[in-house]
Structure 1
Amino acid sequence: MHGADADTHHGGHSLDLQSRAGLVAVCALLVLCVVSGGSSQESGAGVFAAQLLALPMLGWAGWRLLHATPRAVNPHPYAWLAFAGLLFAIPVLQSVLPAGMAGGEGRAALAADLGRFGVEAPSRWSLAPAASLAAAFHLLPALAIFAMALSLPAAAQRRLAQLVVALAVASLVLGVAQLGAPQESALNPYPQWSAAMNGFFANPNHQATLLVVAATLACARLAMVVGAWRPGRPHRVAHGVVAALVMLLAAVALPLTGSRAGVVLLILSCALVVAAHWPAWRGGVRSRMVLVACMAVAAIALFLALRWMQVEAIDELRGPLRALTGEIAARYAPMGAGIGSYVPLFEQEAPRELLMANYVNHAHNEYAQWWFAAGMPAVLAMVLGAVALASTLHGLLRQPANLRGLGVTALVALGAILAHSLVDYPLRTPAMLAVAAALAGLAAAQAASTPRLTHVPDRPNMMASY
């Protein structure tokens, strides 16, 4: 049997040979993406290898999904698959369709300026067709990870989530080691930048995003241990200790990365996870006291974090960057300037006061940059993505409270990445794009699973869901 129903939804740990092979393959691809894909600008041999590995894995995952159990008629995965298909189609079409269909005041002005110098205007929808086609290939590993995660049984999905946490811890350990090593050290994968708790990433803000994801997943495990605690079960105590340690490491390391948004997202994500898990173990005075205590700690931590955060010069520039991105995008509406055209077009259109020694690589707002690059098709993709998220949340809320833990947690962690994308660009890195794809696959698969319980037991087996 294939799909999430291939093992018992009550937490079976046995995997058939094909599921084990699928788990190994998707884990290998995820590790390769995270270790080699920490930059939004550079793509070396590791990223290229991940793209090649993604091609057969996409076919394999598609075969598994087509031969899945009848639970696949559930609409939640199909909303995600439609979103993923549109996301891949946009850059491909931009690289091949003619410029005549794009229109826009900015494109006409650019063609007139080039004509004065005898230069032919761009002939494709995208002003940078090669970069647009390359962007489509960059999506392949994430699409493969999503599809394979969607096809795996529940026990394998839990192990994939644990790998995400392990990768975050490994990146943090590497970041600590980088602080004591020379800039040109082999420990720094991007020696052109000074090491600053970067880990696998070129930008420490993206290290912070991965730490938030890991802390969110660890918080869910800790909530389950607390909710289902019984005397005489030391292995569960060990699970709780490890989860608490991961959360503590993330909380200590996040301020050192310089990401203020990461600190706030950590607090909000953990609070949401605790609140989401509480229905599965409520009923006693102890559970209500734990919930109140957790919410109080979250409120105090959020207050202190907001007081601690200070606006730095670079962040004062992010507002004007986003505003100017919107102005340029309006000139190239309704079809956008093309994925991969942001850097040269921004340099051309930006006023002199925003031109700096270092070029502006991204808008620091993923949604504004998508509007810039792909116009109305990007808006359609974002709407479809929102529908997929809402459909997944609806499907998870229909699950029994003690069975939806992993799905809800993955959705909260994915929401943290999407929220960080309002002020940064984590999804522009192959590493975080792969992690987001894994989380989306886990959430969609859990939402599509057929509930096996009609009520929530008074004392559920909390460890079954994650």
Structure 2
Amino acid sequence: MITLILLGAAFLMVGSGRDDIVSLLIWRPLSAVLLCLAAVTCGGEAWRRGKSLLLFAMAVVLLLLLHVIPLPPAIWATLPGREIVADVYRAAGMQLPWQPLSMAQARTWNALFSLAGPVAVLLAALALEARQHRQLLYVILGIGLFSGVIGMIQAIGPSHGALYFYRITNNGLGVGLFANRNHHAAFLATLYPILAANLSLFKGKPDTLFFHRAMTLTAGCLLLAFILMTGSRAGILLAVFGLAFAWWVYRAPTAQGRVVGTRGRHRSRLVGLGVAVLLLVIGVIVVTQTPALSRLLETDPSSELRVRAFPVVADAIGNFFPFGSGFGTFVEVYQIHEPDKLVTTSYFNHAHNDFAEWLLTGGVPALLLLLWAGMMASAALLVLHRRRGAISSDPDYSTQILGRSGFAVIVMLALASLTDYPLRVPSLLLYTTIAAVWCANAYRFNRK
């Protein structure tokens, strides 16, 4: 229940990576309360099942805590990149105070508080049984299709309609339950392996299997239409990866039970084909009527700025190496290094390469955490590869299918992070946490 509440609330309330959205006033207390509840009710079982994931989460929390602990002037003033702060105090005739490692303390505290939701979901999801993880597939697919329909209505409706839930957003395009079209497109693209997993785990009669196959194929086509409505080129590329991962995840389901009579079988197929054709026609009509397709062929000024700003980010990484500037401090640090030729009426809110921003703000410790995460993902991949021949009668079949889909989601969002910052959106971070739990479960089951 904790997992479902947090996942649903996150997609409904915090589909933006900004720290000034009003819904955080509800989300932060809710996630904190549910974190305490998850720790009390699920902590022991979660530790038994996912010790490595919980140790990793604890390491992340500890690193952020170290960034906000005040240090004496003799220490912080000698850290790389702090000269400008020390010079300001000296120019004002003030003594150097105790300061934390973070260059912008409020931002780092915000980053620390934002971990309550993911840690709560991690604890709660690790304690779930296999049947409940199977149900999570339905929930995620339901959220995805609902977000896609919202995005379709946004794309064909007024550019500043009531269905745009965030003040700063991509008006005129389909953003669904998100503020950013690229984040919406990335989420939709990751649903391809989720669809494959859902169909692979089907259990039922042969006639029902045909209907499920038709619905899965239809949903896959609709996802492509929804992604096109976002106008996101990165989303289309991720959709290609999503289809490839769907092929990797999919295992032909085995129908159970007797086939019903000829009339019932034909009726099931006609209904399935009819619904599929109707939805596909609607999707094609809507896509051709939206401006998103023309947007795909236009030059994106924001993409050009990302490329031009990358040398500035690289220079800032060198200036703050090896300790970093403090998590969440990118805006202030970039403004210190920003050349006049890149100054515009809007500010550059993220590096649009989350690995570079992670290194800039977290330094070598953050790099070590990335390597740790990569090692855990590699270990899970080895297990999944070893059990690639699992069949539906195996006791770990469901766990392996979910593990494959979880690994696919993590890799796709990691690829998206090369040019964007999807995991700074709370809803997508919770989604990724669940995917990591699926990988951990597959690894744990194989190690028994």
TM bracket, shorter-chain basis: 0.7 to 0.9
**CA displacement 1:222-246 (0-9 Å, x = unmatched):** 4566xx9x9x612222222222222
Instruction: Select the residue among 42, 46, 49 that pairs with 2:26.
Output: 49
**CA displacement 1:66-104 (0-9 Å, x = unmatched):** 5549xx767xx3222222112222222211242725844
Task: Find out whether 1:267 has 2:240 as its counterpart.
Answer: yes
State the match for 1:362 in structure 2.
Answer: 350
Q: What is the letter of the counterpart of residue 322 of structure 1? A: F
State the match for 1:145 in structure 2.
Answer: 121
Q: Assess if the C-alpha contact under 8 Å between 1:95 and 1:133 holds in 2.
A: yes
Q: What is the letter of the counterpart of residue 141 of structure 1? A: G
Q: Distance in 2 between matches of 1:342 and 1:191?
A: 21
CA-based RMSD: 2.9
Q: Distance in 2 between matches of 1:438 and 1:73?
A: 17
Task: Find out whether 1:185 has 2:161 as its counterpart.
Answer: yes
State the match for 1:243 in structure 2.
Answer: 216
Q: Assess if the C-alpha contact under 8 Å between 1:32 and 1:47 holds in 2.
A: no
Q: Distance in 2 between matches of 1:258 and 1:135?
A: 30
Q: Distance in 2 between matches of 1:341 and 1:63?
A: 33
Secondary structure of the corresponding residue to residue 364 of structure 1? coil
State the match for 2:281 in structure 1.
Answer: none
**CA displacement 1:170-211 (0-9 Å, x = unmatched):** 111111222344455331111444241011111110000110
Q: What is the letter of the counterpart of residue 264 of structure 1? A: L
Q: What is the letter of the counterpart of residue 30 of structure 1? A: L
Q: How does 1:115-194 map to 2 (within 5 A)?
A: 115-118=90-93, 123-193=99-169, 194=171
Q: Assess if the C-alpha contact under 8 Å between 2:38 and 2:120 holds in 1.
A: yes
Aligned residues with identical type, % of pairs? 25
Instruction: Select the residue among 82, 87, 91 that pairs with 1:107.
Output: 82
State the match for 2:5 in structure 1.
Answer: 28
Instruction: Select the residue among 296, 313, 321 that pairs with 1:333.
Output: 321
Task: Identify if the C-alpha distance between structure 1 residues 447 and 45 changes in structure 2 by more than 3 Å, giving closer, same or farther.
Answer: farther
State the match for 1:377 in structure 2.
Answer: 365
Q: Offset at 1:279?
A: 9.7
Q: Assess if the C-alpha contact under 8 Å between 2:195 and 2:216 holds in 1.
A: yes
State the match for 2:186 in structure 1.
Answer: 209
Q: What is the letter of the counterpart of residue 116 of structure 1? A: A
**CA displacement 1:340-398 (0-9 Å, x = unmatched):** 22112211211111111110000001110011111111111111111221222233334
Q: Offset at 1:136?
A: 1.0
Q: Offset at 1:149?
A: 1.3
Q: Distance in 1 between matches of 2:219 and 2:402?
A: 17
Q: Distance in 2 between matches of 1:191 and 1:133?
A: 24
Secondary structure of the corresponding residue to residue 236 of structure 1? helix
Task: Identify if the C-alpha distance between structure 1 residues 94 and 66 changes in structure 2 by more than 3 Å, giving closer, same or farther.
Answer: closer
Q: Distance in 1 between matches of 2:126 and 2:143?
A: 20
State the match for 2:257 in structure 1.
Answer: none
Question: Which has the larger displacement, 328-337 or 241-250?
Answer: 241-250
Q: How does 1:63-462 map to 2 (within 5 A)?
A: 67-68=44-45, 77-98=50-71, 100=75, 103-118=78-93, 123-193=99-169, 194-222=171-199, 233-277=206-250, 312-399=300-387, 401-402=390-391, 403=397, 404-450=400-446
Secondary structure of the corresponding residue to residue 67 of structure 2? helix
Q: Distance in 2 between matches of 1:279 and 1:104?
A: 57
Q: Which runs of 5+ in 1 are unaligned?
A: 1-23, 282-307, 453-466
Q: Offset at 1:144?
A: 1.2
Secondary structure of the corresponding residue to residue 318 of structure 2? helix
Q: Distance in 2 between matches of 1:418 and 1:119?
A: 44
Q: Distance in 2 between matches of 1:279 and 1:170?
A: 27
Q: Assess if the C-alpha contact under 8 Å between 1:279 and 1:401 holds in 2.
A: no
Task: Identify if the C-alpha distance between structure 1 residues 272 and 174 changes in structure 2 by more than 3 Å, giving closer, same or farther.
Answer: closer
Q: What is the letter of the counterpart of residue 448 of structure 1? A: R
Q: What is the letter of the counterpart of residue 25 of structure 1? A: I
Q: Assess if the C-alpha contact under 8 Å between 1:103 and 1:335 holds in 2.
A: no
Task: Identify if the C-alpha distance between structure 1 residues 238 and 138 changes in structure 2 by more than 3 Å, giving closer, same or farther.
Answer: same
Q: Distance in 2 between matches of 1:278 and 1:151?
A: 26
Secondary structure of the corresponding residue to residue 358 of structure 1? coil
Task: Identify if the C-alpha distance between structure 1 residues 154 and 350 changes in structure 2 by more than 3 Å, giving closer, same or farther.
Answer: same
Q: Distance in 2 between matches of 1:279 and 1:321?
A: 47
Q: Offset at 1:63?
A: 5.1
Q: What is the letter of the counterpart of residue 215 of structure 1? A: Y
Q: TM-score, normalised by structure 2?
A: 0.80
Q: TM-score, normalised by structure 1?
A: 0.77
Q: Distance in 2 between matches of 1:83 and 1:436?
A: 14
Q: Distance in 2 between matches of 1:393 and 1:124?
A: 39
